[in-house]
Structures are given as C-alpha cells and as structure tokens.
Amino acid sequence: LEGREAELVAGLGLGNTFTVVADHVTWDAMGERIAHALQSLGPVKTVLLDHPHADMANVAVLIEKLKGAEGVVAVGS
C-alpha cells in the first residue's frame, strides 16, 4: 500500500481533517509516512500513545485527544 495511503483514505470519505493515532513504535515503522501522505488531503494532527492498552481509562484519554477530529486513522493494532 506504500504510496497509495492518501488515495485509500480519500475513498473512505472521512472528512477534510485527519488525526493519525499510533504508539511510538508504529509511528516509527509506518505512522509518520502515513501522516505525511495524508497532508495532501488536508490538515493532519498526530496522537502518540505511550502505552496503549484496551481499557476504559485509555479510551477516555483517547476520546479527549480526538475531540474535533473528522477522520481518524489508527496505525498499528
């Protein structure tokens, strides 16, 4: 998919501004590349999570950080 990130996301109709969510490892592996590619579609904000874990405390933190986001693209699992 390298080189087609913006094309793939544009087809989803997520909006005109984007937030890329990743942890530090996935940011280095692929997140930075995706955020850069999405800039061709509109403004891009980044949310880097220190120690992501699927629990309600992390959900609450993420909800707060995503306020105002139109399109959210998660990098990683």
> Quick one: DSSP state of residue 75?
-
Contact 26, 76 (CB under 8 A): yes
CA-based angle 60:23:57, to the nearest 5? Answer: 20
What pLDDT score was predicted for residue 1? 74
Q: Structure pTM?
A: 0.87
The per-residue pLDDT string of the chain (77 residues; one tens digit each, 9 = 90 and over) reads 788 999 999 999 998 899 999 999 999 999 999 999 999 999 999 999 988 888 898 889 899 999 988 999 999 87
